[in-house]
């Protein structure tokens, strides 16, 4: 049973370009979460999605960041006009059910470097 898959694993973008990060949840999971990990920091929650719905985006920056989880295909985290401060590791997690009792399974992350 494949785990959570993320690609690319490493992404380099110049300032002002767009970054697209992809996440395929574990088989049978319909809940996806995105987190950002800045250097020497813990993970910060960004957004929680179910198929075709954003459930909670309270951790998303108001500008330049968007996320989707279409009916078919992976979840996408999109960062427009990247800046150096966006350099971080972005992790996706999935769960079979929402709610506080259920563990989230994490992918290997995408390490974004903005030059």
Which CB, 15 or 44, lies closer to other proteins?
Answer: 44
Do residues 4 and 22 lie in contact, with contact meaning Cβ atoms separated by under 8 Å? no
Size of the site for other proteins (CB under 8 A): 31
DSSP string, 49-75: EETTEEEE-TTS-SSSEEEE--SSS-E
The CA-atom distances, in angstroms, between 91 and each of 9, 16, 96, 103, 110 are 10, 22, 17, 15, 7
Give phi and psi for 85, each to the nearest 5: -65, -10
* Position 29 contacts other proteins (CB under 8 A): no
66-85 footprint of other proteins as x/- string (CB under 8 A): --------------------
Identified binder of other proteins from the candidate list 39, 58, 62, 63, rule CB under 8 A: 58
* Position 91 contacts other proteins (CB under 8 A): yes
Interacting residues toward other proteins by CB under 8 A:
4, 6, 31, 33, 35, 40-46, 48, 55-56, 58-59, 91, 93, 95, 98-101, 103-109
């Amino acid at each position: 049973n494949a785990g959570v898959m993320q690609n690319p694993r490493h992404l380099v973008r110049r300032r002002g370009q767009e970054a697209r990060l992809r996440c395929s949840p574990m088989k049978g999971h319909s809940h996806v979460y995105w987190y950002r990990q800045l250097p020497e920091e813990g993970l910060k929650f960004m957004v929680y999605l179910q198929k075709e719905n954003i459930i909670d985006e309270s951790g998303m920056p108001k500008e330049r960041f968007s996320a989707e989880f279409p009916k078919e295909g992976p979840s996408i985290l999109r960062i427009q006009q990247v800046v150096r401060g966006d350099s971080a590791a972005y992790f996706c997690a999935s769960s079979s059910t929402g709610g506080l009792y259920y563990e989230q399974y994490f992918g290997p992350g995408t390490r974004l470097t903005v030059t």
